[in-house]
Chain A
Amino acid sequence: MTPSNIRNFSIIAHIDHGKSTLADRLIQRAGLVSDRDFRDQILDTMDIERERGITIKSQTVTLPYQSRDGEEVRLNLIDTPGHVDFSYEVSRALASCDGVLVLVDAAQGVEAQTLANVYLAMDHDLEIIPVINKIDLPSADVERVREQIESELGLDAAEAVLCSAKEGIGIDEVLEAVVKRIPPPTGRPDLPLSALIFDAHYDPFRGVIICCRVFDGTMRKGDTIRLLSNRSRYRIEEVGFFRLGRDPQEALSAGDVGYLIAGIKNIVDARIGDTVTLDDHPVEKPLPGFREVKPMVFSSIYPMASDDYEDLKDALDKYTLNDAALVFQKDASAALGQGFRCGFLGLLHLEIVQARLEREFGLSLLMTAPSVRYRFHLKSGETIIVDNPQDYPDPTLIEGAEEPFVRASILVPERHLGTVLPLCMDRRGVQPRTAFPTPERVELTVDMPLVEVIYDFYDRLKTVSQGYASVDYEMLDYRPSDLVRLDILVNGERVDALSVIVHQDRAREWALQVCERLKKEIPRHQFKIPIQGAIGGKIIARSTISAFRKDVTAKCYGGDITRKRKLLEKQKKGKKRMKMVGSVMIPQSAFVAALRSEED
C-alpha cells in the first residue's frame, strides 16, 4: 500500500457532541468488531473514561475501508484527549494527522470547545471537515448549525456531512469524505526515518508500546532506533497497526500510523513529541514541537491507613509505567505519616491519578491541597523554588516572593460574561481584555495566578456559565506576590498536611472555611477542641468543637449482642480511616472536606 492509500485523521468535538459514538460506528462499519462484541465507547478502555465520558489515554485504530470507487484505503483514526491539562498531548496527536472531522451537535450547534479545537486544527494546517451529528434529534436545526459553521468557524458549510452516529445514519458519507477530502500523507519511504511519538503505553509483557506516525523513511523489526531527545538506542522487536488489538506488520513506512515495541522498560524514556529515527542512518533535525512535559500542580498523597504505605509505593511505581507525566518523590507528614509528593499536569490529571490509584489498586488515599511552584528570593540573595508548604522558608529571611501567572483565554457566550468576569476578578485576575471573534461570543483574556486556575476554576467556570464557557491557558511568567504560609492548628497542634501557601489576601477566607469544615467533620471528643488558622504565631480564624459527654446505648437488647457489635464494627472501620493529631482523632472525611474546593 502506498501513502496515497492512507488517511490519517482525528475527530474533534465539544464534549457530548458524540465523538466516541462516531468513533464506535466507524469501527463497526470497518468490521473490526462484531456487533455482538460491541460495547459503547470502545476506545475508552478505562472505566473512569467511560464514566466521565472523557478520553484520557488516547487510543488509535487502523480501519480497512473500500471506497465507493473501489479503492482499498487504510484509515488511521487517532483519538485525542479532551481537556486543557492534556493540551500538549492533543497537539502531538493532531500533528500526526492530515485532517480532522469537526463534529457539531445538530441541536446544540457550535460550542466554545468546537471553536478552540478548530483553531488548534488550523494551527496544524489540517484539512477540516465539518460533520453535523445527531440530525435525528427532534430539536436538530441543521440550517442554523450550517450558518454557525460558516459564520463562527469560517468553514464551508455546504461541504458539511450530515449524520447520526447513534442511529448509524450517514456513516458511509463520513468515511467517503475522509477518503476524498483529507489529503494522503506526503512523506517518502526512502528518506531517513523520522517518526513522531504521539502516545505511549506500558504493557507488562512487552514493555513500552510507542504510538507513532511515520513521516519519512521505514522501520522494520531488527532495526536499531534512536530517540532524538535523549539519544537512547533500542532494537525494534515488533512493529504493527492497531486494530483494537496489536496487529504485527513487516514494516511501518512513511505515512503509516502504528506502534513499535523495542524493549523500552520505562515509559519516561518514550517521551511524547520525541522523534524516532534509525541509529545507522539518522535524520538530522527532530520533528518540531517537542516539549519536556513539566508538572504544574503539586500535592502530597498519603495512604489513609499508614500501613498501606508500601502498597502505595508499589501502586505509584506501577502506575507511572503508563503515565510519564506523573512524577513523585518521598514526603512525610507528622499527621499523615509517610507519603509522596507528586507533580501533575493539572488538576484533572491529579483527580484522574487519585481515582485510578484508588480504583485499580484498591487504595484509600488522602491528598493535600494542590500547590504550584513558588519562588522565594531570600535576603541572602539566593532564590529558592518551593512547591511544598513544608518548605516555606523562615519569613524573616524572605526578601520577596513570586508566583506563576498564566494567560487564560475563556470563550463564553456574551450573556454569561456578567458572571464569568467577576469570577476571574475574584480569582485575582488582572488586565481582562475582551474580543469578539463572532457576534455572540466573547473571548475573555485575563492574566491570573496559576494557583487560582488550577484550583477548581474550571468547575466554577462551568457552573457560572451553565456549561458554556471553556478555558485554555498558557504560562506567562512569575510575578511578585505576597505569599504567606497558613497553618491549621487542631487542639493547639499544627496539622502539617493542612498547611498551604496562599496569597495574603486570601488567607483569612481560606482559614475560616477550613476551620468551619473541620468543625463539621471532626467528631466530638471527651474534651473541647479549638481549631485555629494561623499565620506565623497570629491566629486569624477560629472555631471550637465542644466536648461530648455521653456515648452509650441504654440497653443491650435481650442478648442480641450481634446488633451492638455490628454497630461498633462499623465505627471501628470508620476509625481506621482516622488520623491521630496529638490526642485528637481526625477522620479522613475531615481532611477531604478541608481540602475540597470552595463550594460544592
Chain B
Amino acid sequence: MCPCEVVSPSPSPDTTAFEPGKPSRTKYAAPRNSAPGLYVHVPFCTGKCAYCDFYSLPERTRIPAWIEAVQAEARLFRGLFPRFDTLYLGGGTPSLLGVQELERLLQGLFRKLAFSHSPEITLEANPDDLSPGRLAAYRDMGIRRISLGIQALEDATLNFLGRRHTAPRAEQALIDSLNAGFSSVSVDLIYGIPGQTFKAWKKTLQRVLCFRPHHISCYQLTLSPETPLGKEHRKGRIRLPAEDTLADLFLATSEILRDQGYLHYEVSNFALPGHTSKHNRKYWRRAPYLGLGPAAHSFLAPVRWWNPSSLDTYIRQISSGRSPNEGREVLSREQALLETLCLGFRTSEGVAGRVLAACTDGSQTVQDLEQQGLVARHGNRVVPTCRGMMIADRLPLWFLP
C-alpha cells in the first residue's frame, strides 16, 4: 500500500472502524454524550529521563501524602462528572507505587467517584519495575491495560535517552506483560533520535513486532528547551535528523505497522483492531476528562483547568479545601473550533465534513487538500492521509480565517 494513501485499512469508506462490531453510528458520537475519562498524575520518578519535561519528583517518601491529596481532590469532584469509563494512571512512573499503595489509591477513587461497569484502566509502567508477580497483582486489582515505557531496544540509545533499563530487561518486561493476561499491552517507542540510523529504527520496530503487542506508540523525539537533551541541542552538541529524514521515518513507520495489521489511528499511535486507547481518544475527541494530581489537566466543555506543577502547592491547596487549579479557561466558539480541527486532524477519525463546510471557503479547501493528497473523504468525515497526518499542525490553519 502506498504510504500516502488513506491510513485506515477498512474496506468500505464509511467504516473507519476502530472497534469492529459496534454499529458505525456510535463511532463518531458527539463528545458531549461520551463518558468522561479519569486521569491521575503520579509525579514520582527515580530519575529524570534526558528528554522528559513532565513534572516528577524523586522522593518516594511523599507518596502517602500524595495519595491522600488525590483522594481529597477526587472528593471535590464527586457528582460533577457522570460515570467514568476509563482511568489512566500516568506519570511520572506509576509503576513506582507499591502494590499496596496502588491498591489504596484505586480503592479510594472507586469509592469517591462513579465508574461504568467495566472501565478501561491503564497503568504506565517502567520495564525495570515489573515482575510476573507484580503484573499479576496489577491484573487482579482491575488494571486492564499496561503501557510499557520501552522507548528503544538498543542499550546505546536507551543510555542516550537516560533510561534506567536495558534492552533485554525491556524485552523481558514485554513478554511478562503479554503473558499476564491484560486485555491490552502497549509499547512506547521513541525515534528520530540523534545518531539513530534508519536501519536501527527499523530493526527496533521489527523486534517489537515479533511480540505483537496490541498497541504501539511511536513518538518522534521532541526536545523541550528545559530538558537536558534540549539544552545540549541548543548548545549545538547534538543534532536532530533533517526534516526530510524525519518525514521518511514517519512514512516508513506507518507503512511497516500498517502492513502488520495495525491501525494508524493517531499521529503517533498504532493499534490492532479493538485495541485503540479509549482514554487517549477522549483527548482527541474533546470528550470530558478529569485530571487528578499535580500538573494534571481537566476538561469539561467549555472549561479547561489544570493543577499546579508542584506537589507542595498542590497538597497545600487541597488541604485548605480548595480545588487546586492553577489555571482555567473558558473556551470561546472559535477556540473550540480550532481544537476540533487540530485534534481531529491528528486522528484517522478526522473532522466532520459539516464542520469544515461551515468554515470560510471550507469546501473549496477540502477539495484542494484532497487534490494534493493530504485528506480524503470517508462518508461524512474528512480524514487526513498519512501525508496529511504528517502536517496535522498545518491543516487547521487552512480552514481558519
Does B397 lie at the interface of the complex (its beta carbon under 8 Å from any beta carbon of A)?
yes
Within the complex, which residue of B268, B296, B368 is in contact with A555, where a contact is CB–CB below 8 Å? B268
| Least CB separation from A560: chain B residue | B297
Question: What residues of chain B lie closer than 8 Å to A558, measured between beta carbons?
Answer: 39, 41, 54, 90, 291, 296-297
Does B391 lie at the interface of the complex (its beta carbon under 8 Å from any beta carbon of A)?
yes
Does B68 lie at the interface of the complex (its beta carbon under 8 Å from any beta carbon of A)?
no
Over the window 326-339 of chain B, the binary record of Cβ atoms lying under 8 Å from chain A Cβ atoms (1 yes, 0 no) is: 01010000010011
Q: How many positions in chain A have a CB within 8 Å of any CB in the partner chain?
A: 27
CA distance A356 to B352 in the complex (A): 45
Q: What band does the interface of chain B fall in when counting residues whose beta carbon is under 8 Å from A? A: 35 or more
Given contacts A550-B250, A561-B343, contact A568 B397 (CB under 8 A): yes
| Least CB separation from A567: chain B residue | B393
A566 CB to nearest chain B CB (Å)? 10
Within the complex, which residue of B247, B297, B392 is in contact with A562, where a contact is CB–CB below 8 Å? B297
Question: What residues of chain A lie closer than 8 Å to B372, measured between beta carbons?
Answer: 526-527
CA distance A549 to B335 in the complex (A): 26
Most chain A CB within 10 A, of B246, B267, B306, B397, is at B397
Q: Do residues B342 and A551 form an inter-chain contact, with CB atoms below 8 A? A: no
Q: Do residues B243 and A559 form an inter-chain contact, with CB atoms below 8 A? A: no
A-B contact pairs, 5 of them (CB 8 A): A553-B393, A560-B306, A568-B393, A569-B338, A572-B397
Does B289 lie at the interface of the complex (its beta carbon under 8 Å from any beta carbon of A)?
yes
Within the complex, which residue of A554, A562, A565, A576 is in contact with B219, where a contact is CB–CB below 8 Å? A554
8 shortest A-B CB distances, which residue pairs? A549-B247, A559-B297, A554-B219, A552-B392, A550-B247, A554-B220, A551-B391, A551-B394
Over the window 574-585 of chain A, the binary record of Cβ atoms lying under 8 Å from chain B Cβ atoms (1 yes, 0 no) is: 011000000100
Most chain B CB within 10 A, of A559, A571, A575, is at A559
Given A550-B247, A556-B346, A564-B342, output 14 extra A-B contacts at Cβ < 8 Å. Answer: A527-B372, A549-B391, A551-B392, A552-B267, A554-B219, A554-B268, A558-B41, A558-B54, A559-B39, A559-B298, A561-B343, A562-B329, A575-B400, A576-B401
Does B318 lie at the interface of the complex (its beta carbon under 8 Å from any beta carbon of A)?
no
Does A548 lie at the interface of the complex (its beta carbon under 8 Å from any beta carbon of B)?
yes
Given contacts A549-B243, A565-B338, contact A556 B90 (CB under 8 A): no
B223 CB to nearest chain A CB (Å)? 11
Within the complex, which residue of A548, A556, A568 is in contact with B396, where a contact is CB–CB below 8 Å? A568
CA distance A559 to B387 in the complex (A): 25
- Interface positions, chain B 241-279, Cβ under 8 Å from A, are 243-244, 246-247, 250, 267-268
| Least CB separation from A583: chain B residue | B368
A binding-site residues for B, Cβ under 8 Å: 526-527, 548-562, 564-565, 567-569, 571-572, 575-576, 583
Does B299 lie at the interface of the complex (its beta carbon under 8 Å from any beta carbon of A)?
yes
B binding-site residues for A, Cβ under 8 Å: 39, 41, 54, 90, 219-222, 243-244, 246-247, 250, 267-268, 283-284, 289, 291, 296-299, 304, 306, 327, 329, 335, 338-339, 342-343, 346, 368, 372, 374, 387, 389-394, 396-397, 400-401
CA distance A569 to B329 in the complex (A): 14
Interface of B is mostly: mixed
CA distance A557 to B391 in the complex (A): 18
Given contacts A549-B390, A583-B368, contact A561 B297 (CB under 8 A): yes
B278 CB to nearest chain A CB (Å)? 14
Q: Do residues A554 and B306 form an inter-chain contact, with CB atoms below 8 A? A: no
A573 CB to nearest chain B CB (Å)? 10
Q: Do residues B298 and A552 form an inter-chain contact, with CB atoms below 8 A? A: no
CA distance A569 to B341 in the complex (A): 12
Given contacts A550-B390, A552-B267, A552-B391, contact A559 B299 (CB under 8 A): yes
A322 CB to nearest chain B CB (Å)? 34
Q: Do residues B329 and A568 form an inter-chain contact, with CB atoms below 8 A? A: no
Question: What residues of chain B lie closer than 8 Å to A562, measured between beta carbons?
Answer: 297, 304, 306, 327, 329
B31 CB to nearest chain A CB (Å)? 12
Given contacts A548-B391, A551-B394, contact A565 B54 (CB under 8 A): no
Question: What residues of chain A lie closer than 8 Å to B39, measured between beta carbons?
Answer: 558-559
Question: What residues of chain A lie closer than 8 Å to B306, measured between beta carbons?
Answer: 560, 562
Q: Do residues A556 and B284 form an inter-chain contact, with CB atoms below 8 A? A: yes
Question: What residues of chain B lie closer than 8 Å to A576, measured between beta carbons?
Answer: 401
Question: What residues of chain A lie closer than 8 Å to B250, measured between beta carbons?
Answer: 550
Q: Do residues A568 and B338 form an inter-chain contact, with CB atoms below 8 A? A: yes
Given contacts A562-B329, A583-B368, contact A548 B243 (CB under 8 A): yes
Q: Do residues B335 and A565 form an inter-chain contact, with CB atoms below 8 A? A: yes
CA distance A234 to B343 in the complex (A): 67
CA distance A192 to B396 in the complex (A): 73
Question: What residues of chain B lie closer than 8 Å to A571, measured between beta carbons?
Answer: 393, 397
CA distance A405 to B211 in the complex (A): 81
Question: What residues of chain A lie closer than 8 Å to B246, measured between beta carbons?
Answer: 550
CA distance A526 to B343 in the complex (A): 20
Question: What residues of chain B lie closer than 8 Å to A557, measured between beta carbons?
Answer: 54
| Least CB separation from A524: chain B residue | B243
Question: What residues of chain B lie closer than 8 Å to A527, measured between beta carbons?
Answer: 372
A137 CB to nearest chain B CB (Å)? 45
Q: Do residues A561 and B299 form an inter-chain contact, with CB atoms below 8 A? A: yes
Question: What residues of chain B lie closer than 8 Å to A568, measured between beta carbons?
Answer: 338, 342, 393, 396-397
Question: What residues of chain A lie closer than 8 Å to B267, measured between beta carbons?
Answer: 552, 554
Q: Do residues B222 and A554 form an inter-chain contact, with CB atoms below 8 A? A: yes
Within the complex, which residue of B222, B243, B374, B401 is in contact with A550, where a contact is CB–CB below 8 Å? B243
